[in-house]
Copies of this chain bind each other. A is one copy, B any other.
Amino acid sequence: MGQSIAEELEPLFNPKSVAVIGATNNWSKWGYSTFTSVLDGFRGPVYPVNNKEGEILGYKAYARVTEIPGPVDLAVFVIPAASVAPVMDDCVTKGVKAAVIITAGFAETGEEGKKLQDEVLRIARKGGIRFIGPNCMGFWSASSELRAFMFPLPVKDGPLAFVSQGGNVGGAVVTSGYMRGIGFHHYVSCGCAADIQIEDYIEYFGEDPQVKVILAYVEGLADGIRFLEKVKKVTPKKPVIVLKPGKTDAAAKAITSHSGALAGSDEAYEAAFRSIGITRVESPEELLDVAIGFITQPLPRGRNIAILTPGGSYGVLCAEACASEGLNVVKLPDKVIAALDKVFPPRWSRGNPVDPAGDRNFVTFLTAPGKLLKVDEVDSLIFMGFGGFSIFAALFLSADAEHPDGVASWVPSRERFRELAIAFTKAVRSRDTKEIGKAIHPIVSGAASIMGIYNEEEVAELTQLVAAAIASGRLNAPVLVSAFLPPDSPLLAEMGIKNPPTPQEAIARFLVAIAEQWVEDYKKPVLTTTFFTEDQPRLRGSHYAYPSGKQAARVLVKLVEYKEYLESIGLYKN
């Protein structure tokens, strides 16, 4: 065809007008929810096509595509399988450029269906119409805000792109992503993939600079060699994460009746995927876990890991998970042990995992990662129960409840707090780390002192970390100042701070900024975990807390493997 894949698929992903063939007023049919889905966002003309209904949800309906007055770039099919071929003929006549065939009942149902599918393909090829499907749930293109789905799915723009050979798995991943706060630039449910193949979508996503990480759910491939050739050119540019079932006979059988694909030999897939640097995962949730890892973390230099945990048993389970996944829970150098001996109580674990054994020292916890990350022996850090600091913080803030003017108990007076806050606000504007450090030192020091911490070295370390986070713009004045004041404090108004975050929000933002700062300062992955798997983490800034140490370990090992692949093809330099 001579065109680049980006040119070829342009009318599909960025159509100027859409016809929905099978749109209807009958809410119990897919043609209804598909039509409402397209209407939800897309800003170009949308034409319902229905040969029985004259008007659909207030839009004039056309009996045939050929009767639509304006040009039609994209046709969405939601009509019975038997009618698809003749209507595709109409689309060729009309000059439609691309299509998505949601309709099922083609290759996946057996030989008759395969014939029907081949006929549709023949007609589309004749007219140069590229199409998604059949037997799919549709697609999303952020660049045109187009939701050509069977039903409205919650999805927003973001750095991921995803092609799924299963509509349910695809919809679940997209929705889960939405709930986790991460979006997709494109999502395609490819169904039987009669025309555009999975590797074509991956090639297209590979060339799109908006896309940072590519995800795929694959049941079987029409042409495995073509897939490997195409994807091999993408993995050096960006990670390609694939979920591919089919290890068991039961799954292989289910695959054939679902997508009409052949599952193939799992060993062959495993070896082939590995040889071209594909990141293989084992569940829909892991697709997202790993994608978020690639988005938020640098690639680790090696397999050595340190674990920091608020409790021993968490550390045990995380160490087990890391070692099982092939990471090295590294023996900490003596100098690190010595540094931690100085700040943790004598009962601390004195090894890796680093467990302060019930120490309630918030400041020490926040300076420990620096001590671990700065040595060459540590490539990555898992910081467990990270979000739980908000519990300490809440306790810390509640300790001031007795002070009716809301100023924290370590602040000598409102006047002094005003002075500090003004100096601080001025320093923030300077963007100079040293200036900022000077301004915030009394605040950090005072906050530490009410927790009984007077170790000047530690306070200096935390001051530096916070100053760096402020200088880089991660933390700003309202977040820090308001953490120590009630929302209705007159001081906030005096300082011109409107809509301050709640203390809980302020603490959450503070922690995210600190986590991001570790990553920036040491160029090493810092994965954090929540306290419970029932916690529902959301991506905040460029930070995400995994719900378990096991998930964090599995993500880290995928990052290491991708780095090792890049290294093997000469694209990673330490």
Known: A250-B320, A258-B315. A172 touches B532 (CB 8 A): yes
Known: A251-B316, A358-B104. A28 touches B452 (CB 8 A): yes
Give Cα A312–Cα B251 distance, bound, in whole angstroms: 11
Would you call A517 an interface residue if the criterion is a C-beta within 8 Å of the partner chain's C-beta atoms?
A: no
The answer on a CB contact under 8 Å between B169 and A358 is: no
The answer on a CB contact under 8 Å between A179 and B347 is: no
A317: chain B residues within 8 A (beta carbon): 169, 245, 251, 283-284
Q: Which of A12-20, A322-330, A455-463, A473-481 contacts B (4 or more CB under 8 A)?
A: A322-330
Would you call A133 an interface residue if the criterion is a C-beta within 8 Å of the partner chain's C-beta atoms?
A: no
The answer on a CB contact under 8 Å between B175 and A532 is: yes
Give Cα A29–Cα B247 distance, bound, in whole angstroms: 53
Give Cα A165–Cα B254 distance, bound, in whole angstroms: 42
Choice from B29, B170, B176, B259 contacting A533 with Cβ under 8 Å:
B176
A247: chain B residues within 8 A (beta carbon): 320, 324
Would you call A246 an interface residue if the criterion is a C-beta within 8 Å of the partner chain's C-beta atoms?
A: yes
Per-residue B-contact encoding for A245-285, CB less than 8 Å = 1, 0 else: 11111110111011100000000000000000000000111
Known: A258-B355, A536-B534. A313 touches B170 (CB 8 A): yes
Choice from B109, B175, B550 contacting A347 with Cβ under 8 Å:
B109
Stoichiometry, as copies per complex, reads 2
Give Cα A258–Cα B350 distance, bound, in whole angstroms: 10
A316: chain B residues within 8 A (beta carbon): 166, 219, 245-246, 251, 254-255, 258
Known: A360-B30, A395-B27, A534-B180. A311 touches B167 (CB 8 A): yes
Would you call A339 an interface residue if the criterion is a C-beta within 8 Å of the partner chain's C-beta atoms?
A: no
Known: A166-B313, A251-B323, A254-B319. A285 touches B533 (CB 8 A): yes
A314: chain B residues within 8 A (beta carbon): 166, 168-169, 172
- By beta carbon, the residue of chain B nearest A311 is B168
Give Cα A166–Cα B171 distance, bound, in whole angstroms: 38
The answer on a CB contact under 8 Å between B176 and A347 is: no
The answer on a CB contact under 8 Å between B249 and A323 is: yes
Give Cα A310–Cα B169 distance, bound, in whole angstroms: 11
Give Cα A167–Cα B258 distance, bound, in whole angstroms: 46
- By beta carbon, the residue of chain B nearest A317 is B245
Would you call A206 an interface residue if the criterion is a C-beta within 8 Å of the partner chain's C-beta atoms?
A: no
Would you call A164 an interface residue if the criterion is a C-beta within 8 Å of the partner chain's C-beta atoms?
A: yes
Would you call A217 an interface residue if the criterion is a C-beta within 8 Å of the partner chain's C-beta atoms?
A: yes
Per-residue B-contact encoding for A142-179, CB less than 8 Å = 1, 0 else: 00000000100000000000001111111110011001
The answer on a CB contact under 8 Å between A312 and B257 is: yes
A346: chain B residues within 8 A (beta carbon): 105, 109
Would you call A451 an interface residue if the criterion is a C-beta within 8 Å of the partner chain's C-beta atoms?
A: yes
A329: chain B residues within 8 A (beta carbon): 250, 253-254
A169: chain B residues within 8 A (beta carbon): 311, 313-314, 317
Choice from B28, B171, B323, B355 contacting A451 with Cβ under 8 Å:
B28
The answer on a CB contact under 8 Å between B358 and A311 is: no
CB distance from A322 to the nearest CB of B (A): 6
Give Cα A351–Cα B253 distance, bound, in whole angstroms: 9
Give Cα A533–Cα B536 distance, bound, in whole angstroms: 10
CB distance from A452 to the nearest CB of B (A): 6
Would you call A236 an interface residue if the criterion is a C-beta within 8 Å of the partner chain's C-beta atoms?
A: no
Known: A166-B311, A313-B167. A349 touches B258 (CB 8 A): yes
A548: chain B residues within 8 A (beta carbon): 283-285
Give Cα A125–Cα B548 distance, bound, in whole angstroms: 40
A452: chain B residues within 8 A (beta carbon): 28
Give Cα A284–Cα B534 distance, bound, in whole angstroms: 11
Q: Could you tell me which A residues sit within 8 Å of B by CB distance?
A: 27-30, 104-105, 108-109, 150, 164-172, 175-176, 179-180, 217, 219, 245-251, 253-255, 257-259, 283-285, 309-317, 319-320, 322-324, 329, 346-347, 349-351, 353, 355, 357-358, 360, 385, 395, 398-399, 450-452, 531-534, 536, 548, 550
A-B contact pairs, 18 of them (CB 8 A): A28-B399, A28-B450, A28-B451, A29-B360, A30-B360, A104-B347, A167-B311, A167-B313, A176-B533, A179-B534, A217-B313, A250-B322, A257-B355, A258-B355, A283-B317, A283-B533, A283-B550, A284-B317
CB-based closest 3 A-B pairs? A166-B313, A168-B311, A258-B312
